[in-house]
A and B are shown apart, each in its own frame.
Chain A
């Protein structure tokens, strides 16, 4: 093993592992404190398939819920994702950016590099698991609830081995293909698919045995929280991990290493096919590069499609039947949920469809989906081209700097309105399918305000991007300010004397006027639009004044 490769990889990645361990421990604390205060029947009375998916044991108490839902579900998925991203980056990632050749210019074998990367992955996943273990010990003491008869060490150990399985799987695929996207994509696909299969298959008579062909089965089917370590299952996961590791070493040693490449997309393949060339040439080629905003928008099509699809299907259409399904249980939830939780979802009345959609679709997921798109475009719009050193060429064209800012803003507007419209379509469709009788106008109004709210934060990212030329500052600045304002907007109304200050956050102008029930408040829409326009104007001025950076 090469000590410096191990150290560098660990140093590059430790923060992700530390944040994951810390965040899930915090989540454990928050979750358990809520579980302690509410009637747990909303979880234990859930339909069996949902309980199965979330890994909730029958008749669970606070401790069992906290351990199995937060550690066994969220913790497991998070740790496995970190391992997966480390595994896929370890060989294929270095090839993609062209540093693997540099690394191998040193008198070291490929095997030793792979082993060092694997060592670092095991080390960091182990460290994150230890943090979770600490959280699992401390939280019950802080909140004073029982964990007797539960095996914390067992679930943590299962978590650790399970994460390694996906990490080594991604590493192996990366080692054989040299393609990072393939490595992480296939592994994530296997993980998600097997997670659902293991949750659902056991409920179907006759095929329940099939679950054992999916790796997630060996993580939690033995219910380690209640039953302790299942050495047979651990053995299978560990054995496969070792096989993957060996296969990774073999794979990377027998293959031609790839140089730095741009990657091939589906569009490129269609473009090469003579039958589809003409049509695709237009889409991917001349049309895509006809205007700055169109080119920008095309770069974010993946993100816009994912955000729009999630809002349309998961947060829109599917929320209708789900409401009809758990209507009853929700009533009890509203009565027993802690005030802060209700405040964060806008104090909605969950017994009405409007309240349900406000809580589930609009209070968090909706704004997050729009902001993901607007903030990504805003943050990278100017700073991204500076950091990639393409801004010099762009500005060699006879266009004003303000034109570039405005074209990027147009791309952001399109992205936001596409997600906003798909949300509207999804919720409207849900209301029609499940006969919820919601007002179409009010849904449209809410989606408009949501879009405008997203644009406000996109414009904030754009302004930071214009002022600093640094993508990281623009991204983290926007996330930080957004999160702070969101928490303020949730907390302030809880105090009678401070409630009025919520008007100073843009979030107030989204759901503050209860648009799903009362329709569009033009003043609120006007306030959001005014903030958006002012921020874009500020971005134009700031960008025009500054020296363009030459390097990132």
Chain B
């Protein structure tokens, strides 16, 4: 028996009046992978998550979670899913421990040894009232709440907001461990670096539509980046413009700067053929540049 996909949506569409929040979304998340769901604010990431969790109902289309129908089998699905909402709100008059007990009771119990382990790894204080915690510390309680039942699928909506870098790294390790056990993580985010660090594959969403699904490595190779080359003499920029994938060349005395999404060996061959290369630095393109790249690709294929 082949394992069911963790998430499979077919033509998932959600309209709010005239607004198309989700538009014909086809997406598959495999067991054992961390799937990054990348898009700017308002792209439809949260709408998609709330739809597959049966909090809101699709205008058309279907979603299957772990092989179950998202609406018909909603209760069964939630037995196997851990969920962290974006900008998580909890009962401010309960302590972290009370909050976890409440949700554990609704699930019929939890392994408290595992909860303590999670709390220790994230440096979470469960004895304080949730309303007295900073947003980052509240987020930790939310993360523990999602992880504590060892669900087959974790759905996390902007989970890293408010977490300091050390805790973020711990949290990413926790997600990798989940995938290592054959379970799945659906990680929604608007930061490329976060998704790149944790995910195996990435889906890019904009204006409610899925633009592309890529493995992280191909996203990396495809992604444009800013490249800065430094030489020991003044150089001629036109030599670089000829290289495939180079755009927007700027020459300043010994420095050449440009956007690049081609093959690095071709670039280096050109750079070292005539001149002496002193230094090279590259910088990841930001999300907006990647979207522009994908838009260009989409338009060119139409």
A interface, CB within 8 angstroms of B: 260-263, 265, 268, 285-286, 288-292, 295, 299, 388-400, 547-548, 550
Contacts and interface: CB of A to CB of B under 8 A. Distances in A.
Contact of B106 (A389, A391, A398): A398
B79 A393 contact: no
A257 to B, nearest CB: 15
Interface stretch (B85-93, B186-194, B219-227): B85-93
Interface stretch (B24-32, B115-123, B127-135, B198-206): B127-135
Given A397-B106, A400-B75, A262 B85 contact: no
B93 A262 contact: yes
Contacts, number: 89
Nearest to A391: B55
A261 B87 CA distance: 18
B50 A392 contact: yes
B93 A263 contact: yes
Interface in B53-105: 53-57, 74-79, 81-83, 85, 87-95, 97-99, 101-103, 105
B107 interface: yes
Contacts of A391: 55
A261 B133 CA distance: 8
A262 B142 CA distance: 17
Contacts of B83: 392-393, 396
A289 B98 contact: yes
A392 B55 contact: yes
B292 to A, nearest CB: 29
A290 B92 CA distance: 17
Contact of B55 (A268, A395, A399): A395
A396 B65 CA distance: 13
Interface residues of B, number: 41
Given A262-B93, A395-B55, 14 more contacts: A262-B130, A268-B129, A285-B97, A285-B101, A288-B98, A292-B106, A392-B50, A392-B53, A392-B83, A393-B88, A393-B142, A398-B107, A399-B75, A399-B106
21 contacts: A262-B93, A262-B131, A262-B132, A263-B131, A265-B93, A268-B129, A285-B95, A285-B98, A289-B102, A388-B89, A389-B85, A389-B89, A391-B55, A392-B85, A397-B106, A398-B78, A398-B106, A400-B75, A547-B55, A547-B56, A550-B46
B103 A393 contact: yes
A210 B82 CA distance: 65
Interface of B: 46, 50, 53-57, 74-79, 81-83, 85, 87-95, 97-99, 101-103, 105-107, 129-132, 142, 145
A390 B89 contact: yes
Contacts of A289: 94, 98-99, 101-102, 105
Contacts of B145: 393
B70 to A, nearest CB: 13
Contacts of B85: 389, 392-393, 396
A377 to B, nearest CB: 16
Contacts of A398: 75-79, 106-107
Scoring A268, A291, A392, A399 by chain B CB atoms within 10 A of each residue's CB, the highest score goes to A392
A103 B291 CA distance: 38
Given A392-B50, A393-B145, A396-B53, A286 B101 contact: yes
A350 B236 CA distance: 107
A261 B131 CA distance: 6
A390 to B, nearest CB: 6
Contacts of B105: 289-291
B99 to A, nearest CB: 8
